[in-house]
Structure 1
Amino acid sequence: MDDWIELNRANWDERAVPHAASPDYAVERFVEDPEFLSDVVRFDLPRLPDLRGRRGVHLQCHIGTDTLSLARLGARMTGLDFSAEALAQARSLAARAGAEVTYVQATVDDATSVLEPGAFDLVFTGIGALCWLPDIAAWARTVAALLRPSGELFLREGHPMLWSIDETQGEALVVAYPYFETAEPTVFDEPGTYVASEHEFQHTRSASWNHGLGEIVTALLGAGMRLTMLEEHRSVPWEALWGRMVRTDLDEWRLAVRTELVPLTYTLRAVKEA
């Protein structure tokens, strides 16, 4: 499939404004409360390094709520995304919140052509990003290229086991989609989005890939990174499996019964070898 970038760009361009307007992204909370952090970043506060004074880049930043949160923890942040509409919302949020965040438009593969290689102390990638990339080894090389020696990757992602489950199958956990990376994407046609919105979407098709946890780790090792943490979690920041989850005290969702069955997300840290 050759046109997957434009297919996905149209999908994300249309979702930028409804996402910024949705209470699930809490944009107004960011504006009103200078200490407010996104749920994703707040969950990982015990695992994040000290960000004060560090230069960071958030790959696939979308509307910038995680990017702004990292800036509030002291990092000098740049956000990168391929969607012009998402970046417009991210810039608006940063301006309204009084934050100094730089945003640039590019795909991950083109990141080193718009950002200075070897200039960053931190590369951050958040929930629901890697599935939009066809080649995890290329992503790992980009991460390593952006980092200075001893710079660090911080990744919180949906677990590839979660991405392989068919969420429409009632109470059963049915593996219906590839766990491992495939040459061709899985194409979905979904009328809605993952947050509350009354918008009627026109661009409903998207193309995505899964990447096994071993493939991700191996790609990072091959790019000259050293793994320093890998923690699998039983929770996810949204109700990923409708009707089968309950809310946790960290504003996350877990399986209502038998939480030991499958991991839902993971946090990974890796350092670029000197």
Structure 2
Amino acid sequence: MEKYIEGNKAAWEEAFDNRHASWGADITERVEKEDYPFFNDEMVAVLKKINTKGAVIGQFCCNNGRELLSLVKSGSAARGVGFDIAENQISFANEKAKELNLPCEFVAANVYDIDDSHKEEFDVVIITIGALCWFDNLDRFFAVIAKCMKLGAVIVINEQHPCTNMLATQGDEPYNPDHKKECHYSYFEHEWTGNGGMYYMTQKNYESKTFTDYTHSMSEIMSGMCSNGIMITGLQEFDYDISGGFSDIDCTGFPLSMIVQGKKQ
């Protein structure tokens, strides 16, 4: 396992160990009572057009499992398999699957290292906000994803828009509250490191173990998919934030999020 991935594993497990009491507390109730909880309206519209009934669904970088549990239940899937590097999050997700009596299995694994035991397993793959940035090489990443997809399988990616890579957020030195859409960073800047923790999970600021993440251009995402036999079948771009970092410029015309769809040829 690459050193930066080992570091991210330790940092994510630290964050989850220090999670706020509310983080994940609503999963069981919402999955039981709601239709497609934890997805935004545009993502729900896309998922409802996909035939997930009786399907095997995979999610890569599944975090605490809430989205996969939601889709398997609401979409009447036969089974779901989620992968994440943080072992404590995976244990939590498996506990939730048992509570909900849903046919979901969560596996602690680095995506790069997923072996052939999952080859051509999935009819549907989902990738959600905050997944792609943890990998230095999207061609390598999508090679693994494609390996795990059946011929004709579909993939849906709901992610932060690459244009946000250029923006500064509160706490960044160049951030200016009077010019929130001013671009300070290169669209093609690649590697970032930080020790600021995961506030969305912990609801507190703390000196964390080192997180290393990577920005990717739209061309890197598209090329990574296409070079591994995944044909792009749809792209939607939105000016609303799903990351929690840019909500103060929602609906002001700046591209903040997107949905990319593909199919394995």
Answer yes or no: same fold by TM over 0.5. Answer: yes
What residue number does 2:67 align with? 66
Assess, with a 3 A threshold, how the Cα gap between structure 1 residues 33 and 213 changes in structure 2: closer, same or farther.
closer
Whether contact under 8 Å (1:22, 1:197) holds in the other structure is no
What residue number does 1:176 align with? 184
What one-letter code is carried by the residue in structure 2 that aligns with 1:190? G
Deviation at 1:44, TM superposition (A): 0.9
Whether contact under 8 Å (1:17, 1:89) holds in the other structure is no
Whether contact under 8 Å (2:38, 2:70) holds in the other structure is no
Whether contact under 8 Å (1:181, 1:212) holds in the other structure is no
CA separation in 1, counterparts of 2:124 and 2:138? 19
What residue number does 1:11 align with? 11
Deviation at 1:189, TM superposition (A): 2.2
The one-character-per-residue Cα deviations of 1:196-237 (angstroms, maximum 9, x if unpaired) are 625x64534211001111111112111111111110111123
Paired positions, count: 253
The one-character-per-residue Cα deviations of 1:227-260 (angstroms, maximum 9, x if unpaired) are 1111011112353136x24xxxxxxxx24xxx21
Assess, with a 3 A threshold, how the Cα gap between structure 1 residues 191 and 112 changes in structure 2: closer, same or farther.
closer
What residue number does 2:38 align with? 39
The one-character-per-residue Cα deviations of 1:31-53 (angstroms, maximum 9, x if unpaired) are 36513343336541111112111
CA separation in 2, counterparts of 1:235 and 1:136? 24
**Deviates further, 10-19 or 147-156:** 10-19
CA separation in 1, counterparts of 2:56 and 2:46? 18
CA separation in 2, counterparts of 1:107 and 1:191? 20
Deviation at 1:158, TM superposition (A): 0.6
Whether contact under 8 Å (1:31, 1:97) holds in the other structure is no
What one-letter code is carried by the residue in structure 1 that aligns with 2:262? A
Given candidates 246, 257, 264, the residue that maps to 1:265 is 257
Whether contact under 8 Å (2:232, 2:261) holds in the other structure is yes
Deviation at 1:153, TM superposition (A): 1.1
CA separation in 2, counterparts of 1:8 and 1:83? 9
Given candidates 168, 184, 194, the residue that maps to 1:188 is 194
Whether contact under 8 Å (1:109, 1:139) holds in the other structure is yes
Whether contact under 8 Å (2:120, 2:150) holds in the other structure is yes
What one-letter code is carried by the residue in structure 2 that aligns with 1:187? T
CA separation in 1, counterparts of 2:184 and 2:195? 16
**TM-score when normalising by structure 2:** 0.86
CA separation in 2, counterparts of 1:59 and 1:186? 21
Structure 2 residue 240 is the aligned partner of structure 1 residue 241: no
Structure 2 residue 95 is the aligned partner of structure 1 residue 92: yes
CA separation in 2, counterparts of 1:193 and 1:21? 13
The one-character-per-residue Cα deviations of 1:57-84 (angstroms, maximum 9, x if unpaired) are 1001011011111111222210111110
CA separation in 2, counterparts of 1:157 and 1:97? 27
Structure 2 residue 170 is the aligned partner of structure 1 residue 164: no
What residue number does 1:197 align with? 203
CA separation in 2, counterparts of 1:79 and 1:192? 21
**TM-score when normalising by structure 1:** 0.84
Cα RMSD over matched residues? 2.2
CA separation in 1, counterparts of 2:52 and 2:27? 22
**1:110-129 matches, cutoff 5 A:** 110-113=113-116, 115-129=117-131
Q: Which runs of 5+ in 2 are unaligned?
A: none
What residue number does 1:249 align with? none
